[in-house]
């Protein structure tokens, strides 16, 4: 059947070679997934043909019944997966079975460690597809013919998965694709009838095309119900079936954490089945990464990755939407403008958020896992989706001063329930990391009064929290911003003290303001500090440290705003400052106070050299008569 005169030998793209190598080593204990991947591809090929045939019925010719056939030859150690779907042209074969088109693939593969156990998880997340055939086969032959092409334009692709493949033109009477696996010596079990049948039943029962299995020369027998899973009543679908179907559409080795399935009737009729995966795909943060649901219109497959049905911040949800009312020749562009789609997106968004809320309520441990994987993406919703802000806020999880070692587990509801007498706001702190957060001087007065503060350390937190100023009627406040007055709130604390001190230290405040005029907007006596000598406070609407970095990184102008310096007169250093006689010494102390406040919050100094020089001058003075210290300017 092979005409070798037109054979062409080509090398795999470097990424494919790398993937093949890694996959064979790391997915060894998951070898049977090759069958799911090949059946998925066959089913996709049938879906695509059915779709193209809507506008070009001739493509189906006289072969109207789309189906998938599995053939097993135990003696020869051969398995075949055959479909009469769309098939491939020679160019498509070279493109599809020789390269990986998805951008960022090289980066992804570069991150793999070579440790088979760890890489297995990552690779599964990548979605291995056709190439998984080489986990069990030492040679794979593909015979294919594009629907509508002549029998003479069949293509044979063949490879041992080592680095090259050959393509040649063959005569092929049937349309569609035949993938023939020559099993490795240690994988021959996959040609055994019983083993194969169990796997085929498991992987194909929910597929909307008939799947048959034939052993040797025997009769082909049907092994699935050929009814698309989402079209069946929920009560008749087992959890295992839901999980298998997820793995089929998501190419994920792992089970999903949750799902929601609904057949909606009325003004807009549709069926939706959405899943919450148990881990993030490798390209969750890449702009062009595929996302969205698989779109069907009345059971006919239309599009993969229809992103119009869910907002960007729910891009980790996978699933299927089957609409009754869309036109069969709908395109991505048309979807974007369709009012129907808009309304469905609103409903699906709510449904997906409900799924998350249910999981959080019924299985907090599973939700914690989801939060760890997708929390940062979900947070984007605070900025993106005004209508659902409150719902999203309820799903947030925080680290808190009340339970600092429990990780991100505290909800806004819990925090509100734990508000102390007189407390009107929920407080939070944005910092660069857990340690910096805990050590922040801004927490001192809260600690003293037993008021809970949420600790936010993700790089987008400042930005998202700008959009969440209130939860369930309670204001949310950044403890490092604006003036703070906790008089009457919580325990301890000498409320009247601040006023007296303000008067007492008026001159010192003025003198400090003069010394630091280029660095601060204001100096004031603090109502925040109980231990540290000073801290910096940004204005209510000024960009904080994170926001500055984002602005800088994206080439935008960073507003020239300065923080206020707050001092703690209870601290000996501040008292010492008050008694500093010479201007030079005062200035050194003032700048060190400012810089040290930056350091205490885990920030970097703009001019570390100047800080060190000042500090050294002050240290030297400790030893002797300040007046004779040679390094002090102006002395
Ligand atoms: P994926 O299915 O995730 O795109 P694969 O590596 O499994 O990745 O397949 C690559 C491409 O090869 C598919 O997108 C499809 O275009 C093509 N392909 C694979 N199997 C078939 C098949 N049985 N019939 C037609 N095209 C196929």
| Strand, coil or helix: 384 | helix
Task: Show Cβ contacts of residue 359 under 8 Å, excluding neighbours closer than 6 positions.
Answer: 257, 258, 276, 366, 367, 370
Phi then psi for 468, rounded to 5 degrees? -120, 90
For ligand 1, atom 23: residue with the closest CA = 42
Q: Is the CB of 569 under 6 A from ligand 1?
A: no
Residue 550: name the closest of 558, 559, 539 by CA. 558
Confidence grade of residue 286 (pLDDT, cut at 50, 70, 90): confident
**291-327 residue pLDDT tens:** 999 999 988 889 889 999 999 999 999 999 999 988 8
- The CA 145 to ligand 1 mean position distance, Å, reads 14
| Atom number of ligand 1 nearest to Cα 87 | 25
Q: Is the CB of 45 under 6 A from ligand 1?
A: yes
Position 562 scores a pLDDT of: 92
- Two structure tokens written together for 500: 């007296």
Sign of dihedral through CA atoms 446, 450, 452, 457? Answer: positive
Confidence grade of residue 493 (pLDDT, cut at 50, 70, 90): low
Report whether pLDDT(375) > 90.
yes
Beta-bridged to residue 320, according to DSSP, are 273, 294
Beta-bridged to residue 296, according to DSSP, are 301, 322
Task: Show Cβ contacts of residue 559 under 8 Å, excluding neighbours closer than 6 positions.
Answer: 542, 543
Q: Residue 192 has what DSSP assignment?
A: S
Q: Please give the helix or strand (H or E) that residue 453 lies within, else none.
A: strand 453-456
Beta-bridged to residue 54, according to DSSP, are none
* Rounded mean pLDDT, 172-200: 94
Q: How far apart are CA 309 and CA 274, in angstroms?
A: 11
Residue 97: name the closest of 33, 166, 152 by CA. 166
Q: How far apart are CA 564 and CA 519, in angstroms?
A: 9
Q: Please give the helix or strand (H or E) that residue 599 lies within, else none.
A: helix 583-600
Q: Is the CB of 99 under 6 A from ligand 1?
A: no
From residue 148, give the alpha-carbon distance in Å to each of 115, 175, 292: 46, 8, 30
Confidence grade of residue 628 (pLDDT, cut at 50, 70, 90): very low
- The CA 95 to ligand 1 mean position distance, Å, reads 10
| Strand, coil or helix: 215 | strand
| Atom number of ligand 1 nearest to Cα 48 | 25
Confidence grade of residue 494 (pLDDT, cut at 50, 70, 90): low
Report whether pLDDT(576) > 50.
yes
Q: Is the CB of 88 under 6 A from ligand 1?
A: yes
Q: Is the CB of 86 under 6 A from ligand 1?
A: yes
Position 495 scores a pLDDT of: 62
Report whether pLDDT(633) > 50.
no
- Two structure tokens written together for 343: 């309304």
> Which runs of E-coded beta strand occur in 447-603?
453-456, 470-471, 474-478, 522-525, 534-537, 564-567
Report whether pLDDT(392) > 50.
yes
- Two structure tokens written together for 20: 């093949």
Q: How many Cβ atoms from other residues are within 10 Å of residue 409's Cβ?
A: 15
| Strand, coil or helix: 255 | coil
Position 433 scores a pLDDT of: 85
Position 634 scores a pLDDT of: 41
Q: How far apart are CA 47 and CA 603, in angstroms?
A: 55
Beta-bridged to residue 181, according to DSSP, are 79, 140
| 626 alpha-carbon distance from chain centroid | 58
Burial 276-296 (b: 16+ CB within 10 A, else e): bbbbbbbbbeeeeeebbbbbb
Give the position of tokens 């929390």.
375
Residue 35: name the closest of 195, 210, 208 by CA. 195
Give the position of tokens 């409903």.
347
For ligand 1, atom 21: residue with the closest CA = 41
Position 362 scores a pLDDT of: 97
Q: How far apart are CA 39 and CA 211, in angstroms?
A: 9
Position 4 scores a pLDDT of: 54
Instruction: Give pTM, 2 decimals.
Output: 0.83
Domains parsed from the chain with CATH numbers: 2-226 (3.30.565.10), 231-367 (3.30.230.80), 389-478 (3.40.50.11260), 492-622 (1.20.120.790)
- Two structure tokens written together for 410: 């505290």
Q: How many Cβ atoms from other residues are within 10 Å of residue 221's Cβ?
A: 10
User: Which of 23, 40, 41, 248 to probe ligand 1 with, by most ligand atoms within 8 A of CB?
Assistant: 41
**Cα three-residue angle 156-160-166, rounded to 5 degrees:** 35
For ligand 1, atom 12: residue with the closest CA = 96
What ranges in 205-255 are assigned the alpha helix state H? 239-250
Confidence grade of residue 397 (pLDDT, cut at 50, 70, 90): very high
Beta-bridged to residue 594, according to DSSP, are none
What ranges in 157-296 are assigned the alpha helix state H? 193-204, 239-250
From residue 122, give the alpha-carbon distance in Å to each of 110, 125, 261, 445, 566: 11, 5, 28, 45, 48
Q: Is the CB of 177 under 6 A from ligand 1?
A: yes
Number of Cα atoms under 13 Å in the Cβ half of residue 463: 16
* Rounded mean pLDDT, 157-175: 95
**pLDDT higher at 197 or 394:** 394
Position 271 scores a pLDDT of: 97
Q: Is the CB of 132 under 6 A from ligand 1?
A: no
**444-480 residue pLDDT tens:** 999 999 999 999 999 889 999 999 999 999 999 999 9
* Rounded mean pLDDT, 140-169: 96
> Which runs of E-coded beta strand occur in 216-283?
221-222, 258-264, 270-276
Report whether pLDDT(181) > 60.
yes
* Rounded mean pLDDT, 93-110: 83
Q: How far apart are CA 170 and CA 178, in angstroms?
A: 13
For ligand 1, atom 4: residue with the closest CA = 129
- Two structure tokens written together for 161: 């998965």
- The CA 387 to ligand 1 mean position distance, Å, reads 39
Q: Is the CB of 124 under 6 A from ligand 1?
A: no
* Rounded mean pLDDT, 201-224: 89
User: Which of 38, 39, 44, 304 to probe ligand 1 with, by most ligand atoms within 8 A of CB?
Assistant: 44
- The CA 97 to ligand 1 mean position distance, Å, reads 8
| Atom number of ligand 1 nearest to Cα 40 | 2
Report whether pLDDT(118) > 90.
no
* Rounded mean pLDDT, 156-170: 95
**497-526 residue pLDDT tens:** 777 788 889 999 999 999 999 999 999 999
**591-610 residue pLDDT tens:** 999 999 999 888 889 899 99
Q: How far apart are CA 119 and CA 243, in angstroms?
A: 22
Q: How far apart are CA 528 and CA 202, in angstroms?
A: 62
**520-546 residue pLDDT tens:** 999 999 989 989 999 999 998 888 888
Confidence grade of residue 39 (pLDDT, cut at 50, 70, 90): very high
Position 83 scores a pLDDT of: 98
Q: Return the HEC string of 60-110.
A: HCCCCCCCEEEEEECCCCEEEEEECCCCCCHHHHHHHCCCCCCCCHHHHHH
Q: Is the CB of 41 under 6 A from ligand 1?
A: yes
Tell me the average pLDDT of the chain: 89
CB 415 within 8 A of CB 426: yes
Position 111 scores a pLDDT of: 76
Q: Is the CB of 96 under 6 A from ligand 1?
A: yes
Q: Is the CB of 170 under 6 A from ligand 1?
A: no
Compute the radius of gyration of the chain from its Cα atoms.
Answer: 33
Q: How far apart are CA 364 and CA 421, in angstroms?
A: 29
- The CA 205 to ligand 1 mean position distance, Å, reads 20
Q: Is the CB of 565 under 6 A from ligand 1?
A: no
From residue 28, give the alpha-carbon distance in Å to each of 135, 136, 189: 7, 9, 14
**Cα three-residue angle 514-517-520, rounded to 5 degrees:** 125
CB 110 within 8 A of CB 137: no
Position 5 scores a pLDDT of: 64
Q: Is the CB of 85 under 6 A from ligand 1?
A: yes
| Atom number of ligand 1 nearest to Cα 251 | 3
What ranges in 426-523 are assigned the alpha helix state H? 434-439, 444-449, 461-465, 497-504, 506-515
For ligand 1, atom 10: residue with the closest CA = 96
Position 632 scores a pLDDT of: 45
**55-78 residue pLDDT tens:** 899 999 889 999 999 999 999 999
- The CA 578 to ligand 1 mean position distance, Å, reads 76
Confidence grade of residue 496 (pLDDT, cut at 50, 70, 90): low
CB 491 within 8 A of CB 484: no
Q: How far apart are CA 578 and CA 511, in angstroms?
A: 9
Confidence grade of residue 432 (pLDDT, cut at 50, 70, 90): confident
| Strand, coil or helix: 15 | helix
**Cα three-residue angle 316-357-362, rounded to 5 degrees:** 115
User: Which of 16, 130, 304 to probe ligand 1 with, by most ligand atoms within 8 A of CB?
Assistant: 130
Position 491 scores a pLDDT of: 66
């Amino acid at each position: 059947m092979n005409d070798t005169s037109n054979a062409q030998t080509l090398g795999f793209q470097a990424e494919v070679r790398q993937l093949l190598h890694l996959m064979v080593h790391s997915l060894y204990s998951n070898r049977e997934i090759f069958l799911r991947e090949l059946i998925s591809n066959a089913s996709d090929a049938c879906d695509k043909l059915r779709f193209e045939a809507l506008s070009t019925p001739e493509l189906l010719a006289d072969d109207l019944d789309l189906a998938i056939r599995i053939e097993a030859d135990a003696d020869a150690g051969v398995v075949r997966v055959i479909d009469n779907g769309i098939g491939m042209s020679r160019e498509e074969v070279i493109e599809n079975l020789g390269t990986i088109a998805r951008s960022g693939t090289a980066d992804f593969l570069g991150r793999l460690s070579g440790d088979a156990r760890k890489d297995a998880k990552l690779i599964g997340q990548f979605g291995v597809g056709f190439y998984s055939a080489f986990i069990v086969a030492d040679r794979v032959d593909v015979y294919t013919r594009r629907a509508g092409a002549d029998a003479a334009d069949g293509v044979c692709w063949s490879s041992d998965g080592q680095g090259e493949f050959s393509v040649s033109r063959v005569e092929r009477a049937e349309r569609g694709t035949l993938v023939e696996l020559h099993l490795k010596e240690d994988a021959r079990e996959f040609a055994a009838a019983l083993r194969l049948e169990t796997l085929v039943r498991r992987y194909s029962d929910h597929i909307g095309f008939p799947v048959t299995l034939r052993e040797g020369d025997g009769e082909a027998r049907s092994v699935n119900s050929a009814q698309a899973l989402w079209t069946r009543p929920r009560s008749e679908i087992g959890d295992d079936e839901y999980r298998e179907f997820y793995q089929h559409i998501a190419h994920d080795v792992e089970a999903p954490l949750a799902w929601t399935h609904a057949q909606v009737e009325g003004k807009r009729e549709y069926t939706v089945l959405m899943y919450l995966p148990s881990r993030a795909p490798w390209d969750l943060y890449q702009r062009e990464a595929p996302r969205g649901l698989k779109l069907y219109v009345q059971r006919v497959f239309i599009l993969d990755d229809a992103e119009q049905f869910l907002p960007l911040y729910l891009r980790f949800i996978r699933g299927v939407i089957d609409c009754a009312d869309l036109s069969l020749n709908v395109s991505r562009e048309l979807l974007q403008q369709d009012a129907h789609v808009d309304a469905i997106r609103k409903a699906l968004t709510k449904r997906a958020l409900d799924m998350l809320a249910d999981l959080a309520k019924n299985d907090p441990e599973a939700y914690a896992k989801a939060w760890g994987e997708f929390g940062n993406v979900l947070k984007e919703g605070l900025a993106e989706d005004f209508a659902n802000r409150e719902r999203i806020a309820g799903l947030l999880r925080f680290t808190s001063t009340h339970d600092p070692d429990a990780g991100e587990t505290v909800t806004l509801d819990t925090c509100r329930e734990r508000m102390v007498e007189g407390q009107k706001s929920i407080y939070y702190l944005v910092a660069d990391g857990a340690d910096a957060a805990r050590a922040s001087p801004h927490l001192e007065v809260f600690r003293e009064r037993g008021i809970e503060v949420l600790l936010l350390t993700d790089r987008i937190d400042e930005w998202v929290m700008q959009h969440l100023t209130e939860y369930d009627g309670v204001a949310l406040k950044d403890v490092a911003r604006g003036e703070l007055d906790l008089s009457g709130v919580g325990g301890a604390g000498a409320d009247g003290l601040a006023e007296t001190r303000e008067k007492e230290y008026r001159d010192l405040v003025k003198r400090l303001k003069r010394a630091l005029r280029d660095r601060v907007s204001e100096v004031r006596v603090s109502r925040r500090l109980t231990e540290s000598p000073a801290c910096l406070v940004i204005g209510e609407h000024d960009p904080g440290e994170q926001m500055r970095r984002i602005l800088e990184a994206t080439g935008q102008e960073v507003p020239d705003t300065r923080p206020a310096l707050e001092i703690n007169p209870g601290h000996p250093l501040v008292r010492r400052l008050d008694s500093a006689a010479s201007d030079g010494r005062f200035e050194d102390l003032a700048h060190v106070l400012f810089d040290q406040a930056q350091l205490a919050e885990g920030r970097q100094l703009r001019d570390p050299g100047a800080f060190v020089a000042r500090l050294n001058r002050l240290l030297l003075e400790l030893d002797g008569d300040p007046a004779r210290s040679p390094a002090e300017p102006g002395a």
